[in-house]
Chain A
């Protein structure tokens, strides 16, 4: 039995993970430690995150049986950290192993990775069955186009550049904002054609290659023509970009169906699949039985993927399993939290779910801190802010308090027992435990939960909450359901504008101190300002 450290370092989204005897011990993203968002730090190394995991686990990197670095690897850092005892893992293989072996899928499954490069490739396809993965095709980035670069360079170009010639919006950080704007846009045929000169698709080929430079060139020229100088124009561009993305990828899925009709279950990983609207369209294909998106779908998920790959090779992880949750960072005891709270001037009371549900129902904005923080980009009940979903203008108040300017609607959490009453289609529910795709909302619920529904297309990005997997999160949601008759709460990530999701109790207490949240549920207590 083995201890395996995985690292992704020297780029954006650095992270470290540890698996012991085929069980995930811990996964920590560097941005949570440095407090600099991954997209703002392209030179980050998994230094603090690896230090944190050594503290959590008590297993030193130098004592581990294996140290794995995912490509691209900065050799001097790897050498220093491990005393030159490390192995290198392919970037896309790490994405793919992470996805398939946490999907829980049985039988024939296809795993597809798609990102902005990483190493030599922009995409790989694997045929998987009964814990075996076989590489079907790989697509070198120097020869093929990639939708990830289309999005990355559209994002960094749409608002122009600062004095250092860096995009006002950042690649690998602000794509979600661009995607969110699509809701209020419409299709522009000219822009669609123009974008198609940067990327197109035919017969398993995304082309032309070097989508990056072509998109950047296009965006610079369009910007200079004033094509993005109003919010409305940006929304139209965003909608058109999303439409093209969906069209090309669904054409690719159609070719897969024609060529490999026996494959109806899919695992996805890589930055492209942070696009919840694209994921929704794939899930809605009638011939697709189920999809699963690796929850840390971007490069932050590579360190765990590398550990899983080694575990599989060693026979310690034999078939696809399912995550119970993603709370893989450090957790805190009530005593530790109380000690920390003494730096602030708060009162505390035992946490009673029904009472807190009542406060949410009365309009309270409540912080929810439970266990270790989530691995991946979504707040899933470990570092969440909960609000009632019934007020249409909730986003204004939340954006004001959190100093955000988000155009994306907030996301709901929903009781697993009630999911089918609110959303459709009724498939890929495991994927939606991690908020990785959108669903359509049933007509009768659209007006009842306006704060979590996209106005234009009536979709939502729900997190299904199971009692046996997230009991504490389920409990407060269920109490709110008992009071309001609505099995849904608004869940947004516990962070302020431009900051990563909070990691520790001090950061949570600061948020409470600044009045961003009204009260803080943290493990078995509720903390609130003295009245």
Chain B
């Protein structure tokens, strides 16, 4: 997504996780990512930090938070205004209604792939998005709608569905005693950036449901 505010230009996408870059007159901006929990009006903090507008190479030039699975995100941009303080200038809540969402089904098992397609269709029904499904089975792909839209278009969100190991960069994931989708301090706790829970203990459907928040 490309958004233009008064003097700021914003690039925002969720492929496969929230990423935001801003150019504008200010040297620094504060970005905050929050999540609305199911059936709650109150959002909780996920991540926030200051980024630079390309002028200070000592700072990160863009914001990202590598959580790939479904969250009801809200991302906000704050800027400093002298004699006013910290002002929110932009906010966007995750909403893929009517938007193109890409689902990469990373399984070699044909039956499982069919099950996961069912769950993706359920996600599409709930969210009202336009889905593009990409599987490892060419014959299946060709039967799926929107297959030929896979490449070269601006997706709103990408989901990778599979069984992924923990990455060494998952520094904010927690020790085994705190696994599960809860908050610990300012941080959401989860097994990895790709799986809310350890997939080894889950059924095939639970894995996909975990990732898609079903």
Task: Point out the residues of chain A lying under 8 angstroms from B183, CB to CB.
Answer: 120, 140, 142
Contact A143 B44 (CB under 8 A): yes
Contacts A143-B42, A217-B80; is A210 near B85 (CB within 8 Å)? no
Count CB-based A-B contacts (< 8 Å): 77
Task: Point out the residues of chain B lying under 8 angstroms from A209, CB to CB.
Answer: 44-45
Number of chain A residues whose Cβ lies closer than 8 Å to a Cβ of chain B: 28
Contact A141 B86 (CB under 8 A): no
Docked CA distance A190–B43 (Å):
29
Task: Point out the residues of chain B lying under 8 angstroms from A214, CB to CB.
Answer: 30, 78, 86
With both chains docked as a complex, state the minimum distance between the C-beta of A187 and any C-beta of chain B, in angstroms: 15
Contacts A117-B186, A140-B44, A210-B45; is A225 near B82 (CB within 8 Å)? yes
> Which of A75, A195, A213 is packed against the most chain B CB atoms within 10 Å?
A213
Docked CA distance A214–B183 (Å):
20
A130 within 8 A of B: no
Q: Which residues of B10-56 are within 8 A (CB) of A?
A: 28, 30, 32, 42-46, 48-50
Query: Binary interface profile of B, 126-143, with partner A (CB < 8 Å = 1, else 0)?
Result: 000000000000000000
Task: Point out the residues of chain A lying under 8 angstroms from B188, CB to CB.
Answer: 142
Interface of B is mostly: strand
Contact B185 A213 (CB under 8 A): no
A247 within 8 A of B: no
Contact A119 B184 (CB under 8 A): yes
A321 within 8 A of B: no
Task: Point out the residues of chain A lying under 8 angstroms from B78, CB to CB.
Answer: 214, 217
Task: Point out the residues of chain A lying under 8 angstroms from B187, CB to CB.
Answer: 142
- Residue A120 contacts which of B32, B86, B185 (CB distance < 8 angstroms)? B185
With both chains docked as a complex, state the minimum distance between the C-beta of A123 and any C-beta of chain B, in angstroms: 13
A221 within 8 A of B: yes
Task: Point out the residues of chain A lying under 8 angstroms from B43, CB to CB.
Answer: 143
Contacts A213-B50, A220-B50; is A142 near B84 (CB within 8 Å)? no
Docked CA distance A198–B32 (Å):
13
Chain A residues proximal to chain B, CB less than 8 Å? 72, 75, 117-120, 140-143, 190, 193-198, 209-210, 212-214, 216-218, 220-221, 225
26 A-B pairs with CB atoms under 8 Å apart are: A72-B185, A117-B186, A119-B184, A119-B185, A120-B182, A120-B183, A120-B184, A141-B45, A141-B186, A142-B185, A142-B186, A194-B84, A196-B85, A197-B86, A198-B85, A209-B44, A209-B45, A210-B32, A210-B48, A213-B32, A217-B50, A218-B86, A220-B50, A221-B28, A221-B80, A221-B82
Further pairs besides A142-B188, A194-B84, A213-B50: 13, Cβ < 8 Å: A117-B186, A119-B185, A140-B44, A142-B183, A143-B43, A194-B85, A196-B85, A210-B45, A210-B48, A213-B32, A214-B86, A218-B80, A220-B50
